[in-house]
Amino acid sequence: MTEKTRRYLLIAIAVVFFVVLLLLVLSRKKTEHPEPEILNKTTENGAVTEFIKVRLFYFNEASGLLQPEYREIRVPDIREDLYKNFIDLLLASANGQIIPVPDGVQLRSVYYLPSKEMLVLDFNDTLINVFPGGTTAELEFIYFIVDNICYNFKEIKKVKLLSGGNENRTLAGHIDLEKPFFPDFSWLKNE
Amino acid sequence: MKKSTVFIASLFLFQILPALSIDFRSSDHEGFTRIVLEADQTFAFSVRNRPGQLQVLLPRHAAFKNQTPSLQNSRLLERITHELKEENGVLTIYFKGDASVQKNFVLEKPFRVVFDLVKSDSAAVTPPRSTESSDKPQDPGPIANTPAASSAKPIETICIDPGHGGEDLGAVGRSKLHEKDVTLKISLKLKKLIESRTGLRVLMTRDKDSEVSLNSRASIANNQQAQMFVSIHVNSSFRKSAFGSETYFVSLKATDPEALELAQKENQNPEDPGEAIKNDELKMILWNMAQTEFIRESSTLAEYVQNELNDLLGTRNRGVKQAPFRVLMRTAMPAILVETAFISNSAEEKKLQNEAFLDKIAFAIFNGISKFIYYYNTNIK
């Protein structure tokens, strides 16, 4: 092998290495979600209140994927209150979009377990009592909740769903509810 | 070979069964004798190897072109009979002396079932090049994974699980159609198809409007040693426009890695299970692991069934998907859950009230199952 050939070979290897590295970095960036933007607002009495800009995802009739919308939410002193306010906001406002949650379902309480990076959500009994059935409906409900939370709060890696303070086997006879759910961002548009 | 073996090929025609005309041929080659059953259409068949004879179970409506197939001084074949027994036509081929089937495979265009026979003491002899157009077995389908369990035996028992039942109505359509009634109808049609066309044993987790827990459904299949579990459901969505069919197999994606690790540790030391083994959660994880062994077969089965649903129903193909289904997690066999159509969609709810549409669904699932059985049985190690 001549010196010239060796040089070309080294350049080719370096180019390939650089391209692979670039692709790895880009693919990693794509799966990372931006942190919620922190906004400071001054109220009438002069106090500064912290807000964050969150992204809420909803279904619509045209697509089986969750579509994003932006909202602002006040950051309270207690972390669990932030999660509860987030879920309440998620269930309350959809601008005509579809909220895959039966009427009358409300969040009773929220528990954050930092050591497990897990959020436990306890809904009222209505969730189990009136859930309409169907595998797709169950998955729509589960990933609507889990993906919205895990997308906006990186410290939460999994979500456990309770109803009436109890563990339930399934919502309506299909998906196993006894274990926590990890997010599946393939339900989100452009993810 | 002492064990009975069962091979099933798929059926593609529905409702009206045209006469099935089979051409029987046999020819001697160096080291083996070849039998060919040729037809202008695909047909279902089962094979039973018995000492001194080979039995091929054929559809009842099958007839031979040459009324009594002759053997023309065959080296290994003595005589042949064709008679009707129960639901099947039975072709029995009697051997001269001690012969056995060395190979059995299917070819297409035209559809042919081929058996290569050898004298039992020459089973290791490699046959010369085939005189058929191709000597390779037919490609079984999209995923080529071999059955996981080394102790696997040919499929003889299938468990059909009609979703919901009793007070559990399942999803309810706008016109008050109940999922539990539709799933039972489809399941009974499917049972009839499997039994009448293959002779395989079919278990039902329920055969009337009764409530059966998810755990009991899996237990029925496990305790009766079913080798395939097919759960029939009707779908529903919060999006009224959602439509189409989809087939699921179990996903363990949601499994907590820490819990899995714990379960694996317990598995390594079964004599000292400690407190954790008493825990229901751990038992559930162990069941998940049982299904893990069959996940490849479940995936293949799901693909076969979904492909047939796409071809026959003409509804939207929502594809093969994975999810942590409670009933599937507890089964220790290839297991799928078929969501046939959306009861929450007005147009599909109307279709689900039509018997002919339910017949089509049952037949599509039957075709998929038949293809899987053929793939599974021919890949057993």
Domain regions of chain A by residue span: 1-32, 34-187
How would you class B183 by CB atoms within 10 Å of its CB: exposed for 0-12, middle for 13-18, buried for 19 or more?
buried
For residue B131, the model assigns a pLDDT of: 36
Residue B201 to chain A, least CA–CA distance (Å): 26
Phi, psi dihedrals of residue B11, rounded to the nearest 5°: -115, 140
Residues 6+ apart with CB under 8 A from B119: B76, B97, B98, B99
How many angstroms separate the CA atoms of B309 and B358, rounded? 12
Compare CB distances from A135 to B168, B281, B339 and report the shortest one's residue.
B339
* Closest Cα in chain B to A182: B254
- Cβ distance of A134 and B240 shorter than 8 Å: no
Residue B339 and residue B352 in contact, taking contact as beta carbons nearer than 8 Å: no
| DSSP β-ladder status, B77-85 and B53-59 | unpaired
Q: Which of residues 25-54 of A touch B (CB under 8 A)?
A: none
* Interchain CB distance below 8 Å, A180 and B169: no
Residues of chain B contacting residue A181, judged by C-beta atoms under 8 Å apart: 254
Q: Which of A59, A132, A178 is the closest to B239 by Cβ?
A: A59
Chain B residues near residue A135 by CB distance under 8 angstroms: 233, 235-236, 248, 323, 325, 337, 339
Closest CA to B102 of B178, B161, B34: B34
Residues 241-260 of B with CB under 8 A from A: 241-242, 248, 253-256, 259
User: Nearest Cα to B160, choosing from B120, B205, B93?
Assistant: B205
CB-nearest to B324 from A62, A132, A175 is A175
The CATH number fitting domain B157-378, selected from 2.40.30.10, 3.40.630.40, 3.40.50.2000, 3.40.640.10: 3.40.630.40
How far is CA A1 from its chain centroid? 56
The amino acid sitting at B87 is E
CA distance A140 to chain B (A): 8
Give residues with Cβ within 8 angstroms of B361, minimum separation 6.
B186, B309, B312, B313, B340, B341
Of B236, B255, B259, the CB nearest to A136: B236
Q: Which residues of B touch A61 (CB under 8 A)?
A: 239-241
Q: Which residue of A has its CA nearest to B215?
A: A169
Dist. CA B157–CA B200, nearest whole Å: 6
- Among the four given CATH numbers 2.60.40.3500, 2.30.30.100, 3.90.950.10, 3.40.190.10, the one describing domain B20-122: 2.60.40.3500
Q: Report residues of chain B scoring pLDDT below 50.
A: 1-17, 122-146, 149-150, 254-256, 259, 262-263, 265-278
The mean pLDDT values, 10 residues at a time, for chain A of 191 residues are 84 87 67 70 75 89 86 88 93 84 93 94 94 94 95 94 92 92 88 50
Asked if A178 lies within 8 A of B242 by C-beta distance, the reply is no
How far is Cα of residue B200 from the mean position of the Cα atoms in its chain?
10
B105, B9 contact by CB (below 8 A): no
Q: In chain A, positions 117-146, which contact chain B (CB-CB < 8 Å)?
A: 132-137, 139-141
Determine, for residues A180 and B323 on separate chains, whether the beta-carbon distance falls below 8 Å: no
* Contact criterion met (CB < 8 Å) for B241 and A61: yes
Cβ–Cβ gap B236/A174 under 8 Å: no
- ipTM associated with this complex: 0.79
Handedness of CA B114, B115, B118, B122 (dihedral sign): positive
- Least CB–CB distance from B235: residue in A134, A173, A180: A134
Asked whether the beta carbons of residue B324 and residue A132 sit closer than 8 angstroms, the reply is no
Q: Is A173 helix (H, G, I), strand (E, B) or coil?
A: coil
The nearest CA of chain A is from the CA of B49 a distance in Å of 41
Residues of B in contact with A170 (CB under 8 A): 214, 326
Task: Report how many Cβ contacts below 8 Å link chain A to chain B.
Answer: 103
- Domain extents for chain B? 20-122, 157-378
